[in-house]
Structure 1
Protein backbone atom coordinates (compact mmCIF):
# COMPACT_ATOMS: atom_id res chain seq x y z
CA UNK A 1 0.00 0.00 0.00
CA UNK A 2 2.82 2.36 0.93
CA UNK A 3 4.58 1.58 -2.34
CA UNK A 4 1.48 2.51 -4.34
CA UNK A 5 1.16 5.82 -2.45
CA UNK A 6 4.83 6.60 -3.08
CA UNK A 7 4.40 5.74 -6.76
CA UNK A 8 1.38 8.05 -7.03
CA UNK A 9 3.33 10.88 -5.44
CA UNK A 10 6.27 10.26 -7.75
CA UNK A 11 3.95 10.24 -10.78
CA UNK A 12 2.42 13.56 -9.70
CA UNK A 13 5.82 15.19 -9.19
CA UNK A 14 7.15 13.90 -12.49
CA UNK A 15 3.99 15.17 -14.20
CA UNK A 16 4.82 18.68 -13.01
CA UNK A 17 8.41 18.23 -14.19
CA UNK A 18 7.29 16.97 -17.59
CA UNK A 19 4.91 19.89 -18.16
CA UNK A 20 7.53 22.38 -16.98
CA UNK A 21 10.04 20.87 -19.39
CA UNK A 22 7.64 21.16 -22.33
CA UNK A 23 6.86 24.82 -21.59
CA UNK A 24 10.54 25.71 -21.12
CA UNK A 25 11.32 23.99 -24.42
CA UNK A 26 8.58 26.04 -26.11
CA UNK A 27 10.04 29.21 -24.58
CA UNK A 28 13.49 28.29 -25.92
CA UNK A 29 12.30 27.44 -29.45
CA UNK A 30 10.12 30.54 -29.59
CA UNK A 31 12.98 32.76 -28.45
CA UNK A 32 15.23 31.55 -31.27
CA UNK A 33 12.53 31.76 -33.97
CA UNK A 34 11.30 35.15 -32.75
CA UNK A 35 14.76 36.66 -32.88
CA UNK A 36 15.63 35.00 -36.19
CA UNK A 37 12.50 36.39 -37.85
CA UNK A 38 13.13 39.81 -36.36
CA UNK A 39 16.65 39.92 -37.81
CA UNK A 40 15.76 38.49 -41.23
CA UNK A 41 12.38 40.17 -41.79
CA UNK A 42 11.87 42.37 -44.84
CA UNK A 43 13.49 45.76 -44.42
CA UNK A 44 10.45 48.03 -44.71
CA UNK A 45 9.20 48.61 -41.17
CA UNK A 46 5.61 49.77 -40.83
CA UNK A 47 4.62 52.66 -38.58
CA UNK A 48 1.12 51.98 -37.23
CA UNK A 49 1.00 55.03 -34.96
CA UNK A 50 -2.32 56.89 -34.82
CA UNK A 51 -3.61 59.84 -32.87
CA UNK A 52 -5.38 57.42 -30.56
CA UNK A 53 -2.05 55.82 -29.60
CA UNK A 54 -0.74 59.20 -28.45
CA UNK A 55 -3.58 59.47 -25.94
CA UNK A 56 -2.14 56.66 -23.83
CA UNK A 57 0.26 57.87 -21.11
CA UNK A 58 3.66 56.31 -20.52
CA UNK A 59 3.48 54.35 -17.24
CA UNK A 60 6.72 52.43 -16.56
CA UNK A 61 5.28 50.51 -13.59
CA UNK A 62 3.02 48.63 -16.02
CA UNK A 63 6.11 46.65 -17.02
CA UNK A 64 5.24 44.25 -14.17
CA UNK A 65 1.86 43.10 -15.52
CA UNK A 66 3.48 43.17 -18.99
CA UNK A 67 6.13 40.67 -17.91
CA UNK A 68 3.65 38.64 -15.83
CA UNK A 69 2.68 36.89 -19.07
CA UNK A 70 5.60 34.47 -18.85
CA UNK A 71 4.87 33.55 -15.23
CA UNK A 72 1.16 33.22 -16.00
CA UNK A 73 1.70 30.79 -18.88
CA UNK A 74 4.05 28.68 -16.76
CA UNK A 75 1.66 28.52 -13.79
CA UNK A 76 -1.32 27.59 -15.98
CA UNK A 77 0.74 24.83 -17.60
CA UNK A 78 1.46 23.41 -14.14
CA UNK A 79 -2.25 23.31 -13.28
CA UNK A 80 -3.58 21.75 -16.47
CA UNK A 81 -3.44 18.01 -17.06
CA UNK A 82 -4.16 15.54 -19.82
CA UNK A 83 -6.08 16.87 -22.78
CA UNK A 84 -6.42 20.30 -21.16
CA UNK A 85 -2.64 20.63 -21.21
CA UNK A 86 -2.45 19.37 -24.82
CA UNK A 87 -5.11 21.91 -25.84
CA UNK A 88 -3.11 24.63 -24.10
CA UNK A 89 0.18 23.74 -25.76
CA UNK A 90 -1.55 23.42 -29.13
CA UNK A 91 -3.05 26.87 -28.71
CA UNK A 92 0.34 28.43 -27.83
CA UNK A 93 1.96 26.87 -30.89
CA UNK A 94 -0.95 27.90 -33.14
CA UNK A 95 -0.70 31.52 -31.97
CA UNK A 96 2.99 31.59 -32.82
CA UNK A 97 2.47 29.93 -36.22
CA UNK A 98 -0.12 32.58 -37.10
CA UNK A 99 2.01 35.52 -36.01
CA UNK A 100 5.45 34.54 -37.36
CA UNK A 101 4.56 35.08 -41.06
CA UNK A 102 3.07 38.49 -40.25
CA UNK A 103 6.22 39.46 -38.36
CA UNK A 104 8.33 38.42 -41.34
CA UNK A 105 6.39 40.02 -44.19
CA UNK A 106 4.89 43.04 -42.38
CA UNK A 107 7.35 44.08 -39.65
CA UNK A 108 6.06 47.00 -37.60
CA UNK A 109 8.16 49.04 -35.18
CA UNK A 110 7.01 51.12 -32.22
CA UNK A 111 9.43 54.03 -31.63
CA UNK A 112 11.18 53.44 -28.32
CA UNK A 113 10.24 56.07 -25.73
CA UNK A 114 12.94 58.21 -24.20
CA UNK A 115 13.10 57.92 -20.42
CA UNK A 116 15.66 58.06 -17.64
CA UNK A 117 16.45 54.69 -16.04
CA UNK A 118 16.92 55.98 -12.49
CA UNK A 119 15.22 53.28 -10.39
CA UNK A 120 14.58 49.54 -10.43
CA UNK A 121 11.34 49.77 -12.42
CA UNK A 122 12.73 51.97 -15.18
CA UNK A 123 15.95 49.93 -15.38
CA UNK A 124 13.86 46.77 -15.66
CA UNK A 125 11.81 48.36 -18.42
CA UNK A 126 14.97 49.50 -20.19
CA UNK A 127 16.26 45.92 -20.07
CA UNK A 128 12.96 44.71 -21.59
CA UNK A 129 13.42 47.08 -24.52
CA UNK A 130 17.04 46.08 -25.01
CA UNK A 131 16.31 42.35 -24.85
CA UNK A 132 13.41 42.48 -27.29
CA UNK A 133 13.23 42.60 -31.09
CA UNK A 134 11.67 45.91 -32.09
CA UNK A 135 10.03 45.06 -35.41
CA UNK A 136 7.59 42.42 -34.21
CA UNK A 137 4.69 44.45 -32.85
CA UNK A 138 1.67 43.48 -34.98
CA UNK A 139 -0.19 41.45 -33.88
CA UNK A 140 0.77 41.58 -30.22
CA UNK A 141 2.02 38.20 -29.02
CA UNK A 142 1.63 39.41 -25.45
CA UNK A 143 -2.06 40.06 -25.99
CA UNK A 144 -2.75 36.91 -27.99
CA UNK A 145 -0.92 34.62 -25.57
CA UNK A 146 -2.47 36.23 -22.49
CA UNK A 147 -6.02 36.21 -23.85
CA UNK A 148 -5.62 32.72 -25.30
CA UNK A 149 -4.45 31.48 -21.90
CA UNK A 150 -7.42 33.17 -20.23
CA UNK A 151 -9.85 31.55 -22.69
CA UNK A 152 -8.40 28.11 -21.95
CA UNK A 153 -8.82 28.69 -18.21
CA UNK A 154 -12.34 30.01 -18.71
CA UNK A 155 -13.22 26.91 -20.70
CA UNK A 156 -12.15 24.72 -17.76
CA UNK A 157 -13.08 26.82 -14.71
CA UNK A 158 -15.63 29.64 -15.15
CA UNK A 159 -14.85 31.40 -11.85
CA UNK A 160 -11.09 31.29 -12.39
CA UNK A 161 -11.73 32.21 -16.01
CA UNK A 162 -13.19 35.59 -15.05
CA UNK A 163 -10.04 36.44 -13.08
CA UNK A 164 -7.88 35.19 -15.95
CA UNK A 165 -9.70 37.34 -18.51
CA UNK A 166 -9.28 40.37 -16.23
CA UNK A 167 -5.56 39.60 -16.01
CA UNK A 168 -5.36 39.30 -19.81
CA UNK A 169 -7.07 42.69 -20.20
CA UNK A 170 -4.54 44.26 -17.81
CA UNK A 171 -1.70 42.69 -19.82
CA UNK A 172 -3.25 44.08 -23.01
CA UNK A 173 -3.39 47.60 -21.56
CA UNK A 174 0.16 47.27 -20.27
CA UNK A 175 1.46 46.78 -23.81
CA UNK A 176 0.35 50.28 -24.82
CA UNK A 177 1.11 51.92 -21.46
CA UNK A 178 4.79 50.91 -21.55
CA UNK A 179 4.90 52.01 -25.20
CA UNK A 180 5.74 48.58 -26.60
CA UNK A 181 2.72 48.26 -28.89
CA UNK A 182 0.26 50.21 -31.00
CA UNK A 183 -3.42 49.94 -30.16
CA UNK A 184 -4.05 48.06 -33.43
CA UNK A 185 -1.52 45.48 -32.21
CA UNK A 186 -3.86 44.81 -29.28
CA UNK A 187 -6.84 44.34 -31.58
CA UNK A 188 -4.81 42.00 -33.80
CA UNK A 189 -3.70 40.01 -30.76
CA UNK A 190 -7.30 39.51 -29.65
CA UNK A 191 -8.26 38.21 -33.10
CA UNK A 192 -5.32 35.80 -33.14
CA UNK A 193 -6.17 34.55 -29.64
CA UNK A 194 -9.77 33.81 -30.61
CA UNK A 195 -8.71 32.12 -33.85
CA UNK A 196 -6.14 29.90 -32.14
CA UNK A 197 -8.58 29.04 -29.35
CA UNK A 198 -11.26 28.05 -31.85
CA UNK A 199 -8.84 25.92 -33.86
CA UNK A 200 -7.30 24.03 -30.94
CA UNK A 201 -9.83 24.00 -28.11
CA UNK A 202 -13.26 24.41 -29.69
CA UNK A 203 -12.53 22.27 -32.74
CA UNK A 204 -14.47 18.98 -32.90
CA UNK A 205 -11.88 17.41 -35.24
CA UNK A 206 -9.09 18.29 -32.85
CA UNK A 207 -11.10 16.79 -29.97
CA UNK A 208 -11.72 13.60 -31.94
CA UNK A 209 -8.02 13.29 -32.76
CA UNK A 210 -7.05 13.80 -29.10
CA UNK A 211 -9.56 11.16 -27.97
CA UNK A 212 -8.07 8.64 -30.39
CA UNK A 213 -4.56 9.52 -29.27
CA UNK A 214 -5.57 9.16 -25.62
CA UNK A 215 -7.03 5.69 -26.24
CA UNK A 216 -3.81 4.53 -27.89
CA UNK A 217 -1.78 6.10 -25.08
CA UNK A 218 -3.81 4.25 -22.44
CA UNK A 219 -2.99 0.90 -24.03
CA UNK A 220 0.74 1.56 -23.90
CA UNK A 221 1.18 0.75 -20.15
CA UNK A 222 -0.03 -2.83 -20.76
CA UNK A 223 2.80 -3.40 -23.20
CA UNK A 224 5.23 -1.66 -20.88
CA UNK A 225 4.12 -3.82 -17.92
CA UNK A 226 5.10 -6.97 -19.83
CA UNK A 227 8.55 -5.52 -20.45
CA UNK A 228 8.92 -4.51 -16.79
CA UNK A 229 7.94 -7.97 -15.56
CA UNK A 230 10.67 -9.52 -17.68
CA UNK A 231 13.22 -7.11 -16.24
CA UNK A 232 11.99 -7.45 -12.68
CA UNK A 233 13.56 -10.81 -11.87
CA UNK A 234 17.29 -10.28 -12.39
CA UNK A 235 17.70 -6.65 -13.39
CA UNK A 236 16.12 -4.60 -10.61
CA UNK A 237 18.11 -1.46 -11.34
CA UNK A 238 17.12 -1.54 -15.01
CA UNK A 239 13.52 -2.08 -13.99
CA UNK A 240 13.56 1.00 -11.77
CA UNK A 241 15.14 3.05 -14.53
CA UNK A 242 12.49 1.99 -17.04
CA UNK A 243 9.74 2.64 -14.51
CA UNK A 244 10.97 6.22 -14.01
CA UNK A 245 11.20 6.68 -17.78
CA UNK A 246 7.62 5.47 -18.29
CA UNK A 247 6.37 7.73 -15.52
CA UNK A 248 8.10 10.71 -17.13
CA UNK A 249 6.53 9.91 -20.50
CA UNK A 250 3.13 9.63 -18.87
CA UNK A 251 2.81 5.94 -19.64
CA UNK A 252 2.55 4.85 -16.04
Structure 2
Protein backbone atom coordinates (compact mmCIF):
# COMPACT_ATOMS: atom_id res chain seq x y z
CA UNK A 1 0.00 0.00 0.00
CA UNK A 2 1.39 3.38 -1.00
CA UNK A 3 1.32 6.59 0.96
CA UNK A 4 -1.14 7.95 -1.57
CA UNK A 5 -3.55 5.09 -0.82
CA UNK A 6 -3.36 5.94 2.89
CA UNK A 7 -4.63 9.45 2.14
CA UNK A 8 -8.07 8.02 1.39
CA UNK A 9 -10.15 7.63 4.58
CA UNK A 10 -12.25 4.61 5.38
CA UNK A 11 -15.91 5.63 4.84
CA UNK A 12 -18.29 2.66 5.33
CA UNK A 13 -21.33 4.53 3.98
CA UNK A 14 -19.70 4.52 0.54
CA UNK A 15 -20.71 0.87 0.33
CA UNK A 16 -24.03 2.07 -1.09
CA UNK A 17 -22.63 3.73 -4.22
CA UNK A 18 -20.22 0.79 -4.41
CA UNK A 19 -23.10 -1.68 -4.58
CA UNK A 20 -25.15 0.57 -6.86
CA UNK A 21 -23.12 -0.90 -9.72
CA UNK A 22 -25.37 -3.95 -9.87
CA UNK A 23 -28.55 -1.86 -9.90
CA UNK A 24 -27.08 0.37 -12.60
CA UNK A 25 -26.14 -2.52 -14.87
CA UNK A 26 -29.57 -4.10 -14.46
CA UNK A 27 -31.43 -0.86 -15.23
CA UNK A 28 -29.31 -0.10 -18.29
CA UNK A 29 -29.78 -3.65 -19.59
CA UNK A 30 -33.55 -3.26 -19.20
CA UNK A 31 -33.70 0.16 -20.90
CA UNK A 32 -31.43 -0.41 -23.88
CA UNK A 33 -32.90 -2.00 -26.98
CA UNK A 34 -31.70 -3.46 -30.25
CA UNK A 35 -28.15 -2.66 -31.26
CA UNK A 36 -27.55 -0.54 -28.15
CA UNK A 37 -28.30 -3.56 -25.96
CA UNK A 38 -25.95 -5.74 -28.03
CA UNK A 39 -23.23 -3.10 -27.70
CA UNK A 40 -23.73 -3.12 -23.94
CA UNK A 41 -23.60 -6.90 -23.59
CA UNK A 42 -20.57 -7.09 -25.86
CA UNK A 43 -18.80 -4.49 -23.76
CA UNK A 44 -19.54 -6.36 -20.52
CA UNK A 45 -18.28 -9.64 -21.96
CA UNK A 46 -15.13 -7.97 -23.30
CA UNK A 47 -14.37 -6.49 -19.88
CA UNK A 48 -14.62 -9.93 -18.30
CA UNK A 49 -12.48 -11.50 -21.04
CA UNK A 50 -9.78 -8.92 -20.29
CA UNK A 51 -9.90 -8.97 -16.50
CA UNK A 52 -10.46 -12.61 -15.55
CA UNK A 53 -7.19 -13.91 -17.06
CA UNK A 54 -5.37 -11.19 -15.09
CA UNK A 55 -7.13 -12.24 -11.89
CA UNK A 56 -6.18 -15.87 -12.53
CA UNK A 57 -2.54 -15.47 -13.54
CA UNK A 58 -1.69 -12.36 -11.50
CA UNK A 59 -3.88 -12.44 -8.37
CA UNK A 60 -3.70 -9.38 -6.15
CA UNK A 61 -5.23 -8.89 -2.71
CA UNK A 62 -6.21 -5.80 -0.72
CA UNK A 63 -5.88 -6.31 3.06
CA UNK A 64 -9.34 -6.28 4.61
CA UNK A 65 -9.76 -3.32 6.99
CA UNK A 66 -10.56 -3.99 10.61
CA UNK A 67 -13.79 -2.36 11.73
CA UNK A 68 -16.64 -3.00 14.14
CA UNK A 69 -19.88 -4.11 12.49
CA UNK A 70 -22.22 -2.34 14.90
CA UNK A 71 -24.91 -0.95 12.58
CA UNK A 72 -26.68 -1.80 9.35
CA UNK A 73 -24.14 -0.07 7.10
CA UNK A 74 -21.08 -1.70 8.65
CA UNK A 75 -22.77 -5.10 8.75
CA UNK A 76 -23.70 -4.70 5.08
CA UNK A 77 -20.10 -3.77 4.27
CA UNK A 78 -18.83 -6.75 6.26
CA UNK A 79 -21.13 -9.02 4.26
CA UNK A 80 -19.76 -7.52 1.03
CA UNK A 81 -16.22 -8.35 2.11
CA UNK A 82 -17.19 -11.89 3.05
CA UNK A 83 -19.07 -12.50 -0.20
CA UNK A 84 -16.40 -11.03 -2.44
CA UNK A 85 -13.55 -12.89 -4.14
CA UNK A 86 -10.29 -11.62 -2.66
CA UNK A 87 -7.82 -12.18 -5.51
CA UNK A 88 -9.37 -9.81 -8.06
CA UNK A 89 -7.98 -6.47 -6.97
CA UNK A 90 -6.18 -5.34 -10.14
CA UNK A 91 -7.67 -4.08 -12.37
CA UNK A 92 -10.84 -3.06 -10.58
CA UNK A 93 -13.73 -4.92 -12.18
CA UNK A 94 -16.11 -2.57 -10.38
CA UNK A 95 -14.55 0.47 -12.01
CA UNK A 96 -14.35 -1.23 -15.41
CA UNK A 97 -18.02 -2.17 -15.42
CA UNK A 98 -19.22 1.17 -14.04
CA UNK A 99 -17.24 3.32 -16.47
CA UNK A 100 -17.93 0.98 -19.38
CA UNK A 101 -21.65 1.24 -18.65
CA UNK A 102 -21.39 5.02 -18.46
CA UNK A 103 -19.56 5.20 -21.80
CA UNK A 104 -22.25 3.12 -23.49
CA UNK A 105 -24.95 5.45 -22.13
CA UNK A 106 -22.94 8.50 -23.18
CA UNK A 107 -22.65 7.10 -26.69
CA UNK A 108 -26.45 6.93 -26.93
CA UNK A 109 -27.63 9.90 -24.83
CA UNK A 110 -25.18 12.75 -24.16
CA UNK A 111 -27.18 14.33 -21.33
CA UNK A 112 -27.80 11.05 -19.56
CA UNK A 113 -24.20 10.12 -20.34
CA UNK A 114 -22.85 13.02 -18.26
CA UNK A 115 -24.85 11.84 -15.26
CA UNK A 116 -23.74 8.26 -15.89
CA UNK A 117 -20.07 9.24 -16.03
CA UNK A 118 -20.46 11.17 -12.76
CA UNK A 119 -22.05 8.07 -11.22
CA UNK A 120 -19.17 5.92 -12.48
CA UNK A 121 -16.64 8.33 -10.94
CA UNK A 122 -18.45 8.08 -7.59
CA UNK A 123 -18.40 4.28 -7.86
CA UNK A 124 -14.68 4.44 -8.64
CA UNK A 125 -13.96 6.55 -5.56
CA UNK A 126 -16.16 4.28 -3.45
CA UNK A 127 -13.85 1.35 -4.20
CA UNK A 128 -10.96 3.07 -2.41
CA UNK A 129 -13.10 4.65 0.32
CA UNK A 130 -14.47 1.28 1.47
CA UNK A 131 -10.92 -0.09 1.22
CA UNK A 132 -11.66 -2.58 -1.52
CA UNK A 133 -9.03 -1.35 -3.97
CA UNK A 134 -5.77 0.51 -4.34
CA UNK A 135 -5.77 3.65 -6.45
CA UNK A 136 -3.75 1.88 -9.16
CA UNK A 137 -6.60 -0.63 -9.43
CA UNK A 138 -8.95 2.23 -10.27
CA UNK A 139 -6.61 3.45 -13.00
CA UNK A 140 -6.38 -0.07 -14.40
CA UNK A 141 -10.16 -0.37 -14.38
CA UNK A 142 -10.52 2.86 -16.35
CA UNK A 143 -8.06 1.60 -18.97
CA UNK A 144 -9.97 -1.69 -19.30
CA UNK A 145 -13.28 0.16 -19.65
CA UNK A 146 -11.93 2.36 -22.42
CA UNK A 147 -10.36 -0.62 -24.19
CA UNK A 148 -13.57 -2.67 -24.04
CA UNK A 149 -15.60 0.32 -25.21
CA UNK A 150 -13.27 0.86 -28.18
CA UNK A 151 -13.31 -2.82 -29.12
CA UNK A 152 -17.10 -3.12 -29.07
CA UNK A 153 -18.99 0.16 -29.37
CA UNK A 154 -16.43 2.06 -31.47
CA UNK A 155 -15.24 -0.86 -33.60
CA UNK A 156 -16.31 -0.49 -37.25
CA UNK A 157 -16.24 -4.26 -37.85
CA UNK A 158 -18.37 -4.85 -34.77
CA UNK A 159 -20.72 -2.09 -35.92
CA UNK A 160 -21.10 -3.70 -39.35
CA UNK A 161 -21.78 -7.10 -37.83
CA UNK A 162 -24.36 -5.67 -35.42
CA UNK A 163 -26.11 -3.84 -38.26
CA UNK A 164 -26.43 -7.11 -40.16
CA UNK A 165 -27.60 -8.91 -37.04
CA UNK A 166 -30.17 -6.20 -36.31
CA UNK A 167 -31.54 -6.41 -39.86
CA UNK A 168 -31.89 -10.18 -39.58
CA UNK A 169 -33.55 -9.80 -36.18
CA UNK A 170 -36.09 -7.33 -37.58
CA UNK A 171 -36.95 -9.76 -40.38
CA UNK A 172 -37.27 -12.72 -38.01
CA UNK A 173 -41.04 -12.33 -37.30
CA UNK A 174 -41.81 -12.18 -41.02
CA UNK A 175 -39.70 -15.24 -41.74
CA UNK A 176 -41.28 -17.08 -38.83
CA UNK A 177 -44.77 -16.31 -40.15
CA UNK A 178 -43.82 -17.59 -43.61
CA UNK A 179 -42.36 -20.75 -42.12
CA UNK A 180 -45.42 -21.42 -39.96
CA UNK A 181 -47.73 -20.82 -42.90
CA UNK A 182 -45.73 -23.29 -44.96
CA UNK A 183 -45.94 -25.86 -42.20
CA UNK A 184 -49.70 -25.37 -41.93
CA UNK A 185 -50.27 -25.89 -45.67
CA UNK A 186 -47.62 -28.17 -47.18
CA UNK A 187 -47.35 -30.48 -44.21
CA UNK A 188 -51.01 -30.68 -43.24
CA UNK A 189 -51.32 -34.14 -44.76
CA UNK A 190 -48.67 -35.43 -42.35
CA UNK A 191 -50.42 -34.23 -39.19
CA UNK A 192 -52.69 -37.28 -38.86
CA UNK A 193 -49.75 -39.62 -39.35
CA UNK A 194 -47.76 -37.83 -36.64
CA UNK A 195 -50.76 -37.91 -34.31
CA UNK A 196 -51.20 -41.65 -34.78
CA UNK A 197 -47.48 -42.19 -34.26
CA UNK A 198 -47.51 -40.29 -30.94
CA UNK A 199 -50.57 -42.22 -29.78
CA UNK A 200 -48.85 -45.48 -30.68
CA UNK A 201 -45.68 -44.52 -28.81
CA UNK A 202 -47.75 -43.51 -25.81
CA UNK A 203 -49.40 -46.91 -25.71
CA UNK A 204 -46.12 -48.77 -25.82
Question: Aligned partners of 1:83, 1:132: CA distance in 2, in Å?
Answer: 32
Compared CA separation, residues 89 and 244, structure 1 to 2 (3 A):
farther
Any stretches of 5+ residues in structure 1 without a counterpart?
A: 1-48
3-state SS of paired residue (2:139): helix
What are the Cα deviations for residues 170-200 of structure 1, in whole angstroms up to 9, with x where unaligned? 0000000000000000000000000000000
CA contact (8 A) 1:228 1:243 kept: no
Question: Aligned partners of 1:159, 1:247: CA distance in 2, in Å?
Answer: 62
Compared CA separation, residues 114 and 145, structure 1 to 2 (3 A):
same
CA contact (8 A) 1:232 1:239 kept: no
Question: Aligned partners of 1:142, 1:192: CA distance in 2, in Å?
Answer: 11
Compared CA separation, residues 122 and 218, structure 1 to 2 (3 A):
same
Shift of 1:213: 1.6
Compared CA separation, residues 245 and 95, structure 1 to 2 (3 A):
farther
What are the Cα deviations for residues 13-64 of structure 1, in whole angstroms up to 9, with x where unaligned? xxxxxxxxxxxxxxxxxxxxxxxxxxxxxxxxxxxx2111011000000000
Aligned length: 204
Compared CA separation, residues 222 and 108, structure 1 to 2 (3 A):
same
Any stretches of 5+ residues in structure 2 without a counterpart?
A: none
Alignment RMSD, CA only? Answer: 7.2
Shift of 1:214: 1.9
Q: Which of 1 and 2 has higher RCO (CA within 8 Å, sep 6+)?
A: 2
TM-score when normalising by structure 2: 0.88
Choose 1 or 2 for highest CA Rg.
2
4+ runs deviating over 3 angstroms: 227-252
